[in-house]
Amino acid sequence: MKVEYAPTNQALPPKATTARPGRWRTFYRKLRKNKLAMVGGCIVVFYIAIALLAPLIAPSDPYAIDLVNKLKPPSAEHWMGTDDKGRDVLSRLLYGTRLSMSVGFVSVFIGAFFGIILGLLSGYYGKWVDTIISRVIDVLLAFPGILLSLAIVSALGPSLFNVMVAVGVFSIPVFARIVRGSTLTVKKLEYIDAIRSLGANDFTIIFKHIFPNILSPIIVQATMRLATAILSAAGLSFLGLGAQPPLPEWGAMLSNGRDFLFTAPYLAMFPGLAIATLVLGFNIFGDGLRDALDPRMKQ
Amino acid sequence: MITQAESKKKPLLKVNNLKQHFPIKGGIFGRTVNHVKAVDDISFTIYEGETLSIVGESGCGKSTTGRAILRLDEPTSGSVFFEGQDLLAMSKSQMRNMRKHLQVIFQDPFASLNPRQSVSQILGEALAIQNIVPAGKRRERIIELLGYVGLRPDQIDRFPHEFSGGQRQRIGIARALAMQPKLIICDEAVSALDVSIQAQVLNLLKSLQRQFKLTYLFISHDLGVVRHISDRVMVMYLGKVVEIADKKSLFDNPQHPYTQALLSAIPVPDASKKQERIILRGDVPSPINPPTGCRFHTRCPHAMDRCKTEIPALTSLHDTHQVACHLVQ
């Protein structure tokens, strides 16, 4: 057989404009089909919008104390009533969304950043690097997450930022594990050998060829982890270790509402509902993402 | 034992006493309890411009040999001289520079290309890593490379999943060619392809060899393919070289009982010709505890007492034919 297409002198074809054919469109189509995931996605988008728009949509200042109107039940003026200092619960809840979201994103970022690096190193280099990193991760995983973050926060002192650090740290082993596992799978593929035999260095192989191919499980895990992080942060604030008064953090509001459970149940109910729906939203959205991104479920 | 005929040819790659033993970890402390002796003390030479094939059944160490030469797995011991320089003694960065001279084409065209890179990215990266072509001229060079392997210039921005198996293998070949290598190791390069595509890719490899004066180390289990492409053939069994000869000599006059058995398994497309088949009994023994003496003695129809104790050395039958068997000594 002869080579059919000898090199020609014809003009170079223009660069294709559609960079990612099919792949993301298939993923989006699968996600669209999953009704539950779309509901989760809507909840998440709804809360993100609230977080961004809080100052515009909040009916009043979340910090404005009005002792005359304290502990008022929901009414036309205060849709979710007022707390023991007369502050509008709805406004506090809307501003609280910002806190919860930023806690979630910052701590997941911390966890993912260090977890991904540790996982990639441990999976790619193996041997003693893997042994050391894996053992440290095992130790971290052996602690119940909330206990670990309790310990970290009590060591660093109660503040919202320290909560982010604590929740981030206890997310590290989860990411490291997943990334390590995926790295082990991908590094055995022939195209990694091919790149190596071209003479690429480890940095190129790890970050240009392995990392993009293990993104799917990381995205799924990050989404699921957001829910856990928000819940843990609310829990720590509930215990008085996170957001300090007068910050309108949901966990702190819930904790505050606990003192008035019988006289003003709406004080605990609304922050509780907000936490529950946001966590639920992230969880079912994460489930849907996993189903859509999982290569084993390819059509 | 350089004979007259061989001394005229220039050796490109010389493998001496190459061993590749993979440790088996066991016990609670993960100690090494044993080794898989995948390649056990083999030596051979590849001459410039020729095609040397390694044949043998699965697990005989043929792919491991290829990977060890390229240091994709670090060999246990031995030396690999490429143009007089020992690859195994090189530092990691020296080896990275050497890699442009030794390229590899893999078996599975679906696994050997990064699914997230387009053809131009795959080939562009190959050119960029060794900085063979300046950045501005890479696209032109890529199109030239695609031409060599029979792909169209307009396919340059497509992704691997948009190609058929044969086309993907051509991309893999183009990637190897991009480095302007002297030696290409074809590790079962056509085994995963349809028979009709196999022939096309084999012919492509042959014409590229002529065009660019390439040397091939061709690893395969398919004797038909080997017969088509090789100049010389090396037969491996359980990590050892049992016979190495030029193609004609090996196919016409196989000396080692294992080679004879292998060749008798090639189907003959003529039903009237009655062919005597040598059926080997039993399984390949484990490479963890290979048989003493000649490794083939457990399945050899001609095994003698001597074969159980004494390892046969590779001895020259004539100029271009070497065999490791007590029968022929």
Which chain B residue lies closest to A209 (C-alpha atoms)?
Answer: B114
A116 pLDDT above the threshold of 90? yes
pLDDT value at residue A119:
95
A21 and B130 within 8 Å at the Cβ level: the answer is: no
pLDDT value at residue B8:
63
Whole-angstrom Cα distance, residue A113 to residue B279? 59
Query: Which residues from B are below 8 Å from A195, CB to CB?
Result: 114, 125
A253 and A266 Cβ atoms separated by less than 8 Å: no
Query: Which residues from B are below 8 Å from A132, CB to CB?
Result: none
B179 and A8 within 8 Å at the Cβ level: the answer is: no
Could you tell me if residue B133 is inside a domain? no
CATH code of domain A28-55+87-297: 1.10.3720.10
Show the DSSP H helices in B189-314 as ranges: 195-212, 223-229, 247-252, 257-264, 305-309
pLDDT value at residue A74:
81
Supply the pTM of this predicted model: 0.79
Which chain B residue lies closest to A17 (C-alpha atoms)?
Answer: B157
Please spell the DSSP secondary structure of B223-241, one letter per residue.
HHHHHHH-SEEEEEETTEE
Residue A46 phi/psi, 5° resolution?
A: -55, -50
ipTM for the predicted complex = 0.82
Query: Which residues from A are below 8 Å from B200, CB to CB?
Result: 1
B104 and A201 within 8 Å at the Cβ level: the answer is: no
pLDDT tens string A213-270: 888 889 888 988 888 888 888 888 888 888 888 888 888 888 888 888 888 888 888 8
A275 pLDDT above the threshold of 70? yes
Query: Which residues from A are below 8 Å from B72, CB to CB?
Result: 193, 196-197
Average pLDDT, chain B: 86
pLDDT tens string B118-154: 888 889 988 888 888 888 888 888 999 999 888 888 8
A200 and A139 Cβ atoms separated by less than 8 Å: no
- Exposed, middle or buried, B16 (CB in 10 Å: 0-12/13-18/19+)? middle
Query: Which residues from A are below 8 Å from B143, CB to CB?
Result: 7, 12
Could you tell me if residue B101 is inside a domain? yes
More confident residue, A283 or B3: A283
Could you tell me if residue B126 is inside a domain? no
Strands, sheet with B85-86, edge to edge from the N-terminal-most edge strand = B31-47, B11-26, B77-82, B85-86
Q: At what angle do helices B165-178 and B195-212 cross, to 10 degrees?
A: 20
A5 and B151 within 8 Å at the Cβ level: the answer is: yes
pLDDT tens string A51-82: 888 888 878 888 877 778 777 788 777 778 78
B147 and A8 within 8 Å at the Cβ level: the answer is: yes
A18 pLDDT above the threshold of 60? no
pLDDT value at residue A106:
94
- Exposed, middle or buried, B122 (CB in 10 Å: 0-12/13-18/19+)? buried
pLDDT tens string B54-63: 998 888 888 8
User: Which of A17, A190, A203, A207 is the best residue to mutate to test the B interface, defined by the most B CB atoms within 10 Å of its own CB?
Assistant: A190
Peptide bond into A246 cis (omega under 30): yes
A7 pLDDT above the threshold of 50? no
Strands, sheet with B102-105, edge to edge from the N-terminal-most edge strand = B102-105, B183-187, B215-219, B51-55, B232-237, B240-246, B321-323, B315-318
Q: Across the interface, which of B97, B116, B157 has its CB nearest the CB of A15?
A: B157
A3 and B149 within 8 Å at the Cβ level: the answer is: yes
Residue B99 to chain A, least CA–CA distance (Å): 6
Query: Which residues from B are below 8 Å from A197, CB to CB?
Result: 70, 72, 99, 102-104
A23-32 mean pLDDT: 76
User: Integer distance in angstroms from the first to the last C-alpha of chain A?
Assistant: 36
Query: Which residues from B are below 8 Å from A200, CB to CB?
Result: 96, 125, 129
Question: What percent of chain B lies above the pLDDT cut of 70?
Answer: 96
Is residue B43 helix, strand or coil?
strand
Whole-angstrom Cα distance, residue B22 to residue A287? 40
More confident residue, A119 or A159: A119
Could you tell me if residue B125 is inside a domain? no
pLDDT value at residue A294:
65
Spell out the domain ranges in chain A. Answer: 28-55+87-297
Query: Which residues from B are below 8 Å from A209, CB to CB?
Result: 114
Whole-angstrom Cα distance, residue B262 to residue B107? 22
- Exposed, middle or buried, A76 (CB in 10 Å: 0-12/13-18/19+)? exposed
pLDDT value at residue A23:
65
Q: Which two tokens stand for residue B290?
A: 């290979």
Q: Across the interface, which of A1, A21, A190 has its CB nearest the CB of B111?
A: A190
Whole-angstrom Cα distance, residue B141 to residue A111? 43
- Number of other CB atoms surrounding residue B105 within 10 Å: 26
- Exposed, middle or buried, B269 (CB in 10 Å: 0-12/13-18/19+)? exposed
Show the DSSP H helices in A188-247 as ranges: 190-198, 202-204, 215-238
pLDDT tens string B194-214: 888 888 889 999 999 999 999
Total count of domains within chain B: 1
A191 and B114 within 8 Å at the Cβ level: the answer is: yes
pLDDT tens string B65-112: 999 999 988 889 999 999 888 988 888 888 888 898 999 999 888 888
Which chain A residue lies closest to B160 (C-alpha atoms)?
Answer: A21
pLDDT value at residue B273:
66
A189 and B96 within 8 Å at the Cβ level: the answer is: no
pLDDT tens string B269-294: 776 766 677 777 778 888 888 888 88
Could you tell me if residue B61 is inside a domain? yes
Of A2-11, A18-27, A204-213, B5-14, the poorest mean pLDDT is in A2-11
Q: Across the interface, which of B148, B153, B199 has its CB nearest the CB of A1?
A: B199
Q: Across the interface, which of A7, A21, A209 has its CB nearest the CB of B148?
A: A7
Residue A12 to chain B, least CA–CA distance (Å): 7
Q: What is the CATH number of the domain that holds B241?
A: 3.40.50.300
Containing domain of residue B194, as a range?
Answer: 4-116+182-268+276-328
Q: Among B106, B112, B40, which residue's Cα sits nearest to residue B78?
A: B40
More confident residue, B315 or B2: B315
Q: Across the interface, which of A13, A193, A195 has its CB nearest the CB of B153?
A: A13
B212 and B184 Cβ atoms separated by less than 8 Å: no
- Number of other CB atoms surrounding residue B302 within 10 Å: 12
- Given pLDDT bands bounded at 50, 70 and 90, which one contains residue A287? confident
Instruction: Number of helices (H) and strands (E) in chain B: give both, helices first.
Output: 11, 12
- Given pLDDT bands bounded at 50, 70 and 90, which one contains residue A2? very low
pLDDT tens string A126-185: 889 999 999 999 998 888 878 888 888 889 888 888 889 999 998 999 999 999 999 999
Q: Which two tokens stand for residue A48?
A: 């993100």
pLDDT value at residue A35:
85
* Inter-chain CB pairs, A–B, below 8 Å: 97
Question: What percent of chain B lies above the pLDDT cut of 90?
Answer: 21
- Given pLDDT bands bounded at 50, 70 and 90, which one contains residue A22? low
Q: Which two tokens stand for residue A217?
A: 């499980």
A201 and B96 within 8 Å at the Cβ level: the answer is: yes
pLDDT value at residue B275:
66
Q: Which two tokens stand for residue A291?
A: 């189903």
B262 and B243 Cβ atoms separated by less than 8 Å: no
A3 and B147 within 8 Å at the Cβ level: the answer is: yes
